């Protein structure tokens, strides 16, 4: 099984990927700035690389997740000026990551897209456990709709009056009591009339597996192994960056990151749940 406990935020993944590609500078404000300035006397020293035209993503505090364009960099004042402005002054002890080195690196939307492309690549080797919203069972129809997020069903359960969940047996054939998937209608059929009557009006839920969700906001998380995800996202970014690859480095790294992701495929393998059944034909 994959690690079902640890989850990684989009924020951490972008930072990981940017470091692997040599496209990250970490900042932490040492003094209060303004609504358009960020001061860091440690990481913006005199003579350091010009950070102008790069992107700054704020990673802590009130403005966490906001993406800014750096429009000026003063090494003498240990300060960058950014746009658009924040709602209030940037206080001390706020962290940020600067990306898109010399305008030849990658932007925030590109990082997010590459990470989500890697998440797409993980399925079906990695499958997310999904519990459908509970519904009230109607014995007259004897069916349950399978949500579009579930691609394979492995269990159906009903809830008694005290809140305990009980499994419904899997039917080996339509003539056997229990539940069965109708792949053409994307439904669960409960076959036995006595069983239907016993759980009529009770809460039921469908348990299954499906594709992992995409990451949208900076605090969104995924349980896919971050080492594999980082390598696979780097592979996609190197492919994206071939047209801006002046040194030829990215073209050399494409196969390196592709092989690294393949070698770590066992880190994301999810063991199929017993009695799982495909929920739809297509």
For the packed helices 108-122 and 10-20, what is the interaxial angle rounded to 10 degrees? Answer: 100
Q: What is the tens place of the pLDDT at every residue in 20-75?
A: 999 999 999 999 999 999 999 999 988 778 999 999 999 999 999 999 999 999 99
On whether the CB atoms of residues 224 and 125 are closer than 8 A, the answer is no
Token pair 């206080």 is at which residue? 91
Average pLDDT, the chain: 91
Confidence at residue 68, expressed as pLDDT on a 0 to 100 scale: 97
**CA atoms lying within 13 Å on the CB side of residue 265:** 9
Q: What is the tens place of the pLDDT at every residue in 145-171?
A: 998 899 999 999 999 999 999 999 998
pLDDT reading at 103 higher than 50: yes
| Cα angle for residues 96, 229, 66 (degrees, 5° grid) | 25
| Cα angle for residues 96, 98, 99 (degrees, 5° grid) | 140
Mean pLDDT of 196-215: 94
On whether the CB atoms of residues 47 and 18 are closer than 8 A, the answer is no
User: For residues 244 and 87, which has the higher predicted lDDT (pLDDT)?
Assistant: 87
pLDDT bucket at 5, cuts 50 / 70 / 90: low
pLDDT reading at 80 higher than 90: yes
Extract the tokens encoding 132: 């459908």
pLDDT bucket at 2, cuts 50 / 70 / 90: very low
């Amino acid at each position: 099984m994959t690690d079902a406990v640890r989850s990684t935020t989009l924020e951490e993944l972008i930072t990981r990927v940017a470091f692997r590609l040599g496209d990250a500078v970490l900042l932490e404000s040492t003094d209060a700035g303004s609504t358009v300035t960020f001061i860091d006397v440690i990481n913006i020293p005199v003579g350091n690389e010009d950070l102008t035209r790069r992107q700054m993503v704020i990673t802590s505090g009130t403005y966490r997740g906001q993406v800014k364009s750096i429009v000026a960099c003063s090494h003498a004042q240990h300060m960058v000026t950014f746009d658009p402005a924040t709602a209030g002054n940037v206080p001390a002890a706020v962290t940020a990551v600067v990306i898109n080195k010399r305008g030849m690196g990658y932007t925030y939307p590109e990082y997010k897209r590459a990470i989500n492309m890697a998440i797409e690549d993980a399925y079906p080797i990695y499958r997310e456990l999904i519990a459908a919203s509970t519904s009230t069972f109607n014995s007259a129809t004897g069916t349950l709709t399978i949500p579009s997020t579930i691609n394979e069903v492995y269990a159906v359960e009903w809830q008694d009056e005290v809140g305990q969940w009980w499994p419904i047996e899997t039917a080996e054939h339509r003539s056997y009591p229990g539940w069965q998937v109708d792949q053409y209608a994307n439904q669960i059929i409960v076959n036995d009339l006595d069983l239907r009557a016993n759980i009529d009006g009770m809460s039921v839920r469908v348990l299954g597996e499906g594709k992992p969700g995409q990451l949208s906001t900076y605090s969104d998380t995924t349980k896919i192994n971050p080492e594999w995800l980082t390598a696979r996202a780097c592979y996609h970014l190197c492919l994206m960056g071939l047209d801006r690859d002046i040194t030829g480095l990215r073209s050399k790294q494409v196969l390196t990151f592709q092989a690294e992701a393949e070698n770590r495929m066992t880190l994301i393998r999810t063991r199929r749940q017993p009695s799982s059944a495909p929920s739809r034909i297509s």
